[in-house]
Amino acid sequence: MKQAGGDWYTADCSAAAINSEEGTTALEFYAALYDDYGFPAEQVSVADGLATGEYSYVFSSEWEAMGINNAHPEMEGKWAVAPLPDGPSGSFNAFIGGKGAGIFSYSENPDAAFDLLTYLSTPEAQAQMVELSFANANSIHVPPQPENYGLIVGGDNVRDAISMQLTDASGPANCPGWEESNAEIDLILQSVLFEEKDFEDALVEMEDALNAALVEYGTKSYTQSGDKVRFQPFEKAQFMTF
C-alpha cells in the first residue's frame, strides 16, 4: 500500500482510505505474487527453503538472518540481504513491527520515566540490548535511533541492508481499530488470493471493516454525508516515543 503511494486511513484517522486507485494497485500486485509468481500459500521455513533450493528469494524480516547459518552451516556465504525493490510510486517502504515505549499523560512519575527513555536511547544502553538479544535469543535487536544502526549484528551485509531499509519504512496505522481489524482484513485478503473474490468488492469490504472499527473503538458519534462517513478521531493519550 505504501509503495503504491496510498495508505490505510486518511491522515487525521477520520475514515479509511484503502478503497482507492493506490489500494487497487497494491491489491493487484499482492495477488500477482501468488497468481503469477508462485508464492507458496502455506507457512514456509526460510532457512530450509533456501538450503534445499525450493526458494530463490524470500520476503521476510530481520529475525530470519540469524537462523539461516545456524540451521544450515553449509549456507554460510551463499546468501545475502537487500532492501525491498521500489514500488510504483518509487518508494521501497517496508512495514515496521516491534515494540513501542511512551509516557502516558496520567503517569505519576513522568520525569523519571523520561529519564529512563533518554537512557535507553544512548549507545551504551542500545549496545547492551543488541548484545543481550543476540546472546539470549540469537536475534537481531534493531536500535530505533539512526546513529546507533552501526551496532546491528549479523555482518556488514545484514547491517547495511537493514540500515538502508529503515530510511523508507512505516509502522502500523495509529488509528482506532487498526489492531482489532487485522483478522477480518486477513480473511478478506485470503478470499482474494484463494477464492477469486473481486478486487473492487474486497476493497469495499475492507473499507467498511476499517470504518466500522473506527466507530467502535474511537468515538461513537459520526455524521453521514453522501456515500462517505466521516468520524471524529478519538482523543489519544499524550506520549513520547524513542
**Does residue 24 carry a pLDDT above 60?**
yes
The answer for residues whose C-beta is within 8 angstroms of residue 80's C-beta and 6 or more apart is 157, 161
Give the mean pLDDT of the chain. Answer: 88
Please state the rounded mean pLDDT for residues 200-229: 77
Higher pLDDT, 99 or 27: 27
pLDDT-derived band of residue 219, with 50, 70 and 90 as boundaries? low
What's phi and psi for 151, nearest 5 deg? -80, -15
Exposure of 175 by Cβ count < 10 A (0-12 exposed, 13-18 middle, 19+ buried)?
A: buried
- Mapped onto helix, strand or coil, the DSSP state of residue 222 is strand
Span 189-203, pLDDT tens digits: 999 999 999 999 999
Residue 225 has a pLDDT of 39
For the 21-96+173-231 domain, the top CATH level (class) is alpha beta
Q: What is the pLDDT of residue 61?
A: 86
Higher local confidence (pLDDT), 135 or 225 = 135
What pLDDT is attached to residue 201? Answer: 97
pLDDT in tens, 152-173: 998 999 999 999 999 999 988 9
HSE (side-chain half, CA atoms, 13 Å) at 5: 8
Domain edges within the chain = 21-96+173-231, 110-170
Share of the chain above pLDDT 70, in %: 90
Alpha carbons 37 and 18: distance in angstroms, whole number: 24
The reply to whether the predicted model has a pTM over 0.85 is no
Residue predicted with more confidence, 220 or 87: 87
3-state secondary structure of 223: strand
Question: In angstroms, rounded to a whole number, what is the distance separating the alpha carbons of residues 232 and 189?
Answer: 27
Res 100: pLDDT: 79
**From the centroid of its chain, how far is CA 142?**
14
pLDDT digits (tens, 9 = 90+) for 85-135: 999 999 999 998 877 788 998 999 999 999 999 999 999 999 999 999 999
Task: State yes or no: pLDDT of 230 exceeds 70.
Answer: no
